[in-house]
Amino acid sequence: MSELILAPLRKLGHMTINAIWRLGYASRFLIAILMYSGQSLMRFSLVIREVYFAGVLSLIIIIVSGLFVGMVLGLQGYNTLARFGSSDALGALVALSLLRELGPVLAALLFASRSGSAMTAEIGLMKTTEQLDAMSVMAVNPVARVVAPRFWAGVISMPILAALFNVMGIFGGYLIGVVMIGLDSGTYWSQMNNSVDLHYDVINGLIKSLVFGVAVTLIAVFEGYDATPTAAGVSSATTRTVVTSALVILALDFILTAFMF
Amino acid sequence: MKRTTIDLWVGIFVAIGIACVTFLSLKVANLTADSSGSTYVLSANFDNIGGLKVKAPVKSSGVVVGRVTGISLDTQRYVAHVTMTLDSRYTFSRDTSADILTSGLLGEQYVGLTEGGDPDTLKNGDSITITSSALVLEQLISKFMLSFGEKGDSHSSQNASAAK
Amino acid sequence: MHPLIKKNGLPVSSEFFIELRNVTFAYGKRPVLKNINLRIPRGELVAIMGGSGSGKTTLLRLISGQYRPQEGEVLVDGRDVAKMSHAELFAHRRRMGMLFQFGALFTDLSVFDNVAFPLREHTRLLDGMVRDLVLLKLDAVGLRGTQDLMPAELSGGMARRVALARAIALDPALMLYDEPFTGLDPISLGVIALLIKKLNDALGTTAVMVTHDVHKSLDIVDRVYFVANGEIIAEGTPDEVRAAPSPWVHQFVYGEADGPVHYAYPTATSLLDDLGMKGDAHV
């Protein structure tokens, strides 16, 4: 009988220890990336290439999602605010929700799903086809050549994508609130102006997206580099990237929000 | 993909990013109000500041002329000591009065300055002497109740004298 | 002692380009190689053969420095690879070329960029020189003209040849081949074998080839080593190996179904037992 209780507890213990061990491994990996980043700075074209694949190719999904989220915020926000006679505050509602929370978090989640998983798959596949080994045997450090440029590309792209998401969201809210429902355009923007503070909201949001960028990209490149070099291994690493990124984003969001707001 | 096309797109990408951040800073947030040149500091004491917060606007005739930068309790005289930073473009006379007003019926509170007639103006570090406190809801209600009660007394005494 | 059984306690000599002395390697808890002793003279083309999982690829990776032995020394050109620092290891690898099993070409670079990779990373040659060298190397493997193709557009045999061109880009002193013949059609097989032999003769490199393709290897190599259960159980020249009286070598070389390596999986029970018909008088 006690086995029934002990076995899942033991499994939980194993998983926790495993998670902590991986966290330590990932931190050492981060330090290795930072140490070998010198080459990325000198060979900036490598980073630029990765910014294209990670950032530019995510533009469509970010723009469309941002627009839709803004529109939904506009609709739902109006419904609730109208009940309290405060529909004038719609601009402020949309802007604050996006800048403080939704922009950084959703953009990071989308980035992890699209670019993070792509990075994991790419690096994992290079590991499986022995390309990383071939690089090491040719006396080129694969962390410096393959991993670090992708890491910096993610860190650079994330705040840009989050800012774009916010802008599209505010525009979506404008479309619904002013164009569709018919609120006063001046009120929309002026209420927003009055409530949004540069340092408190915009910059905090940017800091959040930067932190998320580091976390998500690190997870993506780490899972790829650490994947079991088989087809099944790469596929499970890709799944792990998306799941772990999502959990870490939400946990970090809570921690950062508690600190900042 | 040729190198140059990638470079072009990445350049556009970064430009979009900078444009978005700029847009967010200027159009969405209050960038202009805070950083328009030189400012000077004034202070005022209030019996009760009500719901006034730091960063609340300081307005004169409804126009924002500055921000509240500090609120503290003066422990010698037990009054609220408020410091404000005002735009140097606007100067006020020495007998300006500062009131704590509410925007709308139940909105957030701000400091309203009303110009007086004194030809001398307040300089950096000066203190506004004429102040009136915020309206606290409980005090308002108790005043109302009292006046209601008084009216009732005078009414009944009128009735009584009329009855006689 | 039969001439094909391994010899221990060989004297030390520096005319050997590669020497493994009492090397033991375990992967985690699983022992892979036990007390290996191996000497390969300069310029020799050597094949290491054995069944799957016998440890032959591990030997190759010990020589390249990708793995470090738990015990023993791995000497390449007189210097112990296992004790090299990071910088020394990278310098060592610049004198070495390795051909991976399926080529391991960088899929995001063209054939030209792949072959140019080691040149661009390790030399400061101008673009014109790099271009000439790349074309020379591609010509050496018979693939001049493919430089603008992407690896995905190449057949298996061609990809391996491009990988070979890349491996010899810096004219290495040591060439390592990991299963170069696996999975190729007979013509490509012939081409690769020819190239390996030609390069070895032309460049004077020392070459170690891990393979289990017996016949092609015996045609081109100078010496063969057989690895099984983590030990070198036989060695010799191709002629000595073909005449192998040792049963294991005989089974391996002639591809016999049953011999020292058993055909059937070892079980404790007989077939009749498993079918439930043990000693039944009615049957």
pLDDT tens-digit profile of C42-97? 888 999 988 777 788 888 888 888 888 888 888 888 888 888 888 888 888 888 89
Both structure tokens of B148: 């209601």
How much is the mean pLDDT over chain B? 81
**pLDDT at C5 exceeding the cut of 70:** no
Domain-embedded: residue A7: no
The confidence score (pLDDT) of residue B36 equals 56
Q: Do chains B and C touch (3 or more CB pairs under 8 A)?
A: no
The confidence score (pLDDT) of residue B155 equals 63
Residues of chain C with C-beta less than 8 angstroms from the C-beta of A129: 102, 104, 107
On whether the pTM is more than 0.90, the answer is: no
Domain-embedded: residue A1: no
Contact across the interface for C98 and A126, Cβ inside 8 Å? no
- Per DSSP (E only), the strands in chain A are none
Contact across the interface for C66 and A134, Cβ inside 8 Å? no
Residue range A24-51: average pLDDT? Answer: 89
Residue range B112-117: average pLDDT? Answer: 87
Instruction: State which amino acid sits at residue C132.
Output: D
Task: Report the residue from A167, A193, A197 with minimal CB separation from B23.
Answer: A167
Write down the domain spans for chain B. Answer: 1-32, 36-142
The confidence score (pLDDT) of residue C163 equals 94
Instruction: State which amino acid sits at residue A51.
Output: V
Give CA–CA dist A167/C120, Å, rounded: 43
The confidence score (pLDDT) of residue A41 equals 82
Number of domains in chain A: 1
**pLDDT at B33 exceeding the cut of 60:** no
Q: Residue B131's pLDDT band (boundaries 50, 70, 90)?
A: confident
Both structure tokens of B56: 């609340």
State the smallest CA–CA distance between residue A34 and chain B in angstroms: 23
Residue range A40-46: average pLDDT? Answer: 85
Q: Among all residues of chain A, which has the CA nearest to that of B55?
A: A197
Q: Residue C174's pLDDT band (boundaries 50, 70, 90)?
A: very high
Domain-embedded: residue A224: yes
Q: Among all residues of chain A, which has the CA nearest to that of C91?
A: A139
What are the residues of chain A with a beta carbon less than 8 Å away from any beta carbon of chain B?
Answer: 45, 48-49, 51-52, 55-56, 59, 95, 99, 156-157, 159-161, 163-164, 166-167, 170, 189, 192-194, 196-198, 201-202, 206
pLDDT in tens, C205-221: 899 999 888 888 888 99
Q: Among all residues of chain A, which has the CA nearest to that of C88?
A: A139
In this prediction, what percent of chain C has a pLDDT beyond 90?
23
How much is the mean pLDDT over chain A? 92
Quick one: three-class SS letters along chain B? CCHHHHHHHHHHHHHHHHHHHHHHHHHHCCHHHHCCCCEEEEEEEECCCCCCCCCCEEEECCEEEEEEEEEEEECCCCEEEEEEEEECCCCCECCCEEEEEECCCCCCEEEEEECCCCCCECCCCCEECEEECCCCHHHHHHHHHHHHHHHHHHHHHHHHHHHC
Contact across the interface for C94 and A139, Cβ inside 8 Å? yes
pLDDT in tens, C207-260: 999 988 888 888 899 999 888 888 888 888 888 888 876 777 777 788 777 777
Domain hosting residue A78, numbered range: 36-260
**pLDDT at A147 exceeding the cut of 50:** yes
Residue range A174-195: average pLDDT? Answer: 86
Domain-embedded: residue A55: yes
**pLDDT at A215 exceeding the cut of 50:** yes
Give CA–CA dist C148/A216, Å, rounded: 35
Counting one residue from chain A and one from chain C, the pairs whose CB atoms sit within 8 A come to: 44
Residue range A109-124: average pLDDT? Answer: 96
Domain-embedded: residue A21: no
CB proximity list for C31: less than 8 A, separation 6 or greater: C24, C25, C230
Q: Which residue has the higher pLDDT, A208 or B67?
A: A208
Q: Assign domain C16-95+172-274 to its CATH superfamily.
A: P-loop containing nucleotide triphosphate hydrolases (3.40.50.300)
Give CA–CA dist B134/B106, Å, rounded: 13
The confidence score (pLDDT) of residue C119 equals 93
Give CA–CA dist A214/C57, Å, rounded: 38
Residues of chain C with C-beta less than 8 angstroms from the C-beta of A130: 100-102, 104
Task: Report the residue from A126, A136, A138 with minimal CB separation from C117.
Answer: A138
**pLDDT at C3 exceeding the cut of 50:** no
Domain-embedded: residue A201: yes
Domain-embedded: residue A19: no
Q: Does A31 touch chain C (CB under 8 A)?
A: no
Q: Does B78 touch chain A (CB under 8 A)?
A: no
Q: Does A129 touch chain C (CB under 8 A)?
A: yes
Residues of chain A with C-beta less than 8 angstroms from the C-beta of C123: none
How much is the mean pLDDT over chain C? 83
184-203 in chain C: CB under 8 A from chain A: none
Contact A138, C104 (CB under 8 A): no
